[in-house]
Amino acid sequence: MSLQRLLGSVGPAVLSGVCAPGGTAVPVGDVVIAEPDGGVDLRPGDLVLGVNLTDRAQALRLLASCAERSAGALLLKAPAAVDETVVTAASAAGLPLVQVEQQAGWAQVVSLLRAVLDSEGHADSGTQAVGTEAGDLFGLADAIAAVIDAPVTIEDRSSRVLAYSARQERGDEARVATIMGRHVPDDVNAHFRRHGVFHKIAQDTGPIYVPAVVAGTKPRLVVPVHAGGDVLGSIWAIVPGPVPAERAEAFADTAAVAALHLLRRRAGADVERLVLTDMVATVLHGQEGAADAARRLGLTAGPWRVIAVGVRCEDDGEAERQRLTVWERMSRFRGSRLRSPAAVVGGVVYGIVPAETVTGTTDGGAAWLETLRGTTGQPAPLVAVGGLAASVPGLARSREQADDTLDLLRRGLIARDRAVHDEVWATVVLRHVARSAAATRIAGVGPLQQLADHDRAYGTSCVPTLHAWLREMGDPRAAAARLHIHPNTLRHRMRRLQDVVALPLDDPEIRTALLLQLTARQYGMEGSGPESDTGTRSG
């Protein structure tokens, strides 16, 4: 794709102020995010984004690096983008300099640029023909805009923007927000829903006129896109008012062409997703061919971490939507030529990311995890991060650790919504002990069951008292503090406990066996039952 076409597709609402001494007909490649120190790994033609770069000296260093490596263009925000020294240096180097509008979020810019570039298709994706069809979707949007003489968007049935035409400056605030976020804003969608627009899209095939009744919006003419009784999406045009019948009919006729494109796009996306899912699953489970799959996924230099994301939604349809939303966000994370390997496997969204992404020395990792958790609305998904994997075989182990951590989050055994395995490994070990104990029934072996029966029969607290005493290695003050009782009460309980059943607690093997049994009860029963009570009764 040429820089000129890219700029035309994205539009001046996002990219403007182009300084291109050699013109904008130059070809551009992938989107690459520059490191804060100005370092960047790129290929000729790549678009380099100077994210959060405002210092002139940093901008000049990055510009020199881009020019040296024949980057396609450098994208900056003001003040660096309009700094006279920076502009002069870009002109002298022959490097196109593009200004990103201040209100445009960098994450949105990355998403928009990749959407347009992805629409062109990539020869190495294995779906070149499908990619070409997706690229034609933007061309189709321009053609439809010419028919209706208005800026249009082509959207799927979930109101996600698939393509949009030029001349979006003739739109309104809601349209700008729609293109920036690649999704119709919730408040605007709610307005359309109240007026029955989506019901009409599902039932009708003709154009639907939507008057402007929300502040900051203009009227719209909507054409549903159907195929075989299935709703594929819709085409939205921003119009000044009611449209003459002849023009509205011509606009409606474009739906048939759009349906063909959307059907091809759906088929290609399904095939690509299946292939990607198979490769990611092969790597995550250490199956035969994992090394080759990792190479094809771009996993050439570790270390990495596996992220497992579980959604919390009882409605199956909504849960599927949330998983796909998380998958899309995760798969588009890295500023590299290939998307971050991500796939939905067994109802869990897995991603493989560079280790520093989530455990770097700055708060960037935590910020990215919070962004990931905020993609679906409430309740936020559960995010579990596996351990460090320095090699491809290690990814299978990292996936197991992510699964273990996600299991703790789902069962509420750690009171958080996200966790890194490195921080909760001890709880993971105890959970595995509990599972093994349940399988072999060791929790009911020996005298511990007598204490549990006594607690149930007489309302005493023998089991929690013994557990606290063992965990604090026989320190009565520490054990009492854990149970929120006086040390003398703790000593009294321990004497009463020995009256119920004689326990040789001076034997280290006895103490170890009891602690294992109590741990099995605690985690195996997930905190339920009288034997897990913290115990404040007098006993």
In-domain check, residue 44? yes
- The per-residue pLDDT for 537 is 39
Residue 499 neighbours by CB distance under 10 Å: 9
Average pLDDT over residues 318-344: 66
In-domain check, residue 274? no
R_g (Cα) of the chain, nearest Å: 30
pLDDT tens digits, 160-176: 888 888 878 788 878 87
- The per-residue pLDDT for 433 is 80
**301 plus 333 within the same structural domain:** yes
Per DSSP bridges, beta strands 15-19 and 97-100 are antiparallel
In-domain check, residue 531? no
In-domain check, residue 474? yes
Tell me the two tokens of residue 519. Answer: 């741990």
Residue for token pair 């602690």: 515
Residue for token pair 């307005």: 191
- The per-residue pLDDT for 481 is 94
Strand ordering across the sheet containing 348-354: 342-345, 348-354, 304-310, 382-385, 418-420
Tell me the two tokens of residue 319. Answer: 């849960």
If you average pLDDT over every residue of the chain, what do you get? Answer: 79
**Who wins on pLDDT, 320 or 284?**
284
Question: Considering the chain, what percentage of its residues have pLDDT values greater than 70?
Answer: 81
124-129-131 Cα angle (round to 5): 70
**29 plus 154 within the same structural domain:** no
Average pLDDT over residues 241-250: 90
Residue 209 pLDDT exceeds 80: yes
pLDDT tens digits, 130-148: 333 444 788 888 889 888 9
pTM, two decimal places: 0.49
Contacts of 419 (CB under 8 A, 6+ apart): 383, 384, 385, 405, 408, 409
Average pLDDT over residues 49-69: 87
Residue 20 pLDDT exceeds 50: yes
pLDDT tens digits, 371-414: 666 666 667 788 888 888 888 888 999 999 999 999 999 888 88
Which DSSP helix (H) or strand (E) runs through 337?
A: none
Residue 243 pLDDT exceeds 60: yes
- The per-residue pLDDT for 42 is 76
**293 plus 372 within the same structural domain:** yes
Task: Among 120, 138, 166, identify where a domain stops.
Answer: 120
Residue 363 lies in domain: 286-421
Can you give the CATH number for the domain in which 154 is found? 3.30.450.40
Separation CA 257–CA 265 (nearest Å): 13
Contacts of 151 (CB under 8 A, 6+ apart): 145, 164, 165, 166, 167, 168, 169, 170, 171, 175, 237, 238
- The per-residue pLDDT for 39 is 59
**336 plus 406 within the same structural domain:** yes
Helix (H, G, I), strand (E, B) or coil at 163: strand
- Is the bond into 303 cis (omega within 30 degrees of 0)? yes
- The per-residue pLDDT for 122 is 35
**348 plus 470 within the same structural domain:** no
pLDDT tens digits, 454-475: 999 999 999 999 999 998 999 9
- DSSP annotation of 15: E
In-domain check, residue 529? no
pLDDT band for position 126 (cuts 50, 70, 90): very low
- The per-residue pLDDT for 465 is 94
**97 plus 192 within the same structural domain:** no
* Of the ranges 249-253, 483-487, 514-518, 520-524, the best mean pLDDT one: 483-487
**259 plus 312 within the same structural domain:** no
What is the DSSP track for 32-100? EEPPTTS-----TT-EEE-TT---HHHHHHHHHHHHHTT-SEEEEETTGGG-HHHHHHHHHHT--EEEE
- The per-residue pLDDT for 495 is 92
Contacts of 119 (CB under 8 A, 6+ apart): 131, 134, 135, 137, 138, 163
Helix, strand, coil % over all residues of the chain, rounded to 5: 55, 15, 35
In-domain check, residue 528? no
Separation CA 395–CA 390 (nearest Å): 8
Separation CA 464–CA 494 (nearest Å): 11
**171 plus 235 within the same structural domain:** yes
**140 plus 105 within the same structural domain:** no
Long-range contacts of 126-135 (CB under 8 A, 24+ apart): 126/272, 126/275, 127/268, 127/271, 127/272, 129/268, 130/264, 130/265, 130/267, 130/268, 130/269, 130/271, 130/272, 131/268, 133/261, 133/264, 133/265, 133/268, 134/265, 134/268
Q: At residue 43, what is the residue type?
A: R
- The per-residue pLDDT for 128 is 33
**113 plus 195 within the same structural domain:** no
Residue 275 pLDDT exceeds 80: no
Average pLDDT over residues 146-156: 90
**375 plus 351 within the same structural domain:** yes
End-to-end CA distance of the chain: 78
Residue 350 pLDDT exceeds 50: yes
In-domain check, residue 489? yes
- Is the bond into 381 cis (omega within 30 degrees of 0)? no
In-domain check, residue 538? no
Separation CA 488–CA 137 (nearest Å): 78
**407 plus 445 within the same structural domain:** no
Residue 111 pLDDT exceeds 80: no
Separation CA 265–CA 118 (nearest Å): 12
Can you give the CATH number for the domain in which 339 is found? 3.30.70.270
- DSSP annotation of 2: B
58, 72 contact by CB (below 8 A) = no
Residue 124 pLDDT exceeds 60: no
- The per-residue pLDDT for 4 is 83
Task: Among 120, 138, 164, identify where a domain stops.
Answer: 120
Residue for token pair 């009171």: 415
pLDDT tens digits, 502-536: 899 999 989 888 888 888 787 765 433 333 443 43
Nearest to 136 by CA among 124, 147, 148, 128: 128
The total domain count for the chain is 4
Helix (H, G, I), strand (E, B) or coil at 14: coil
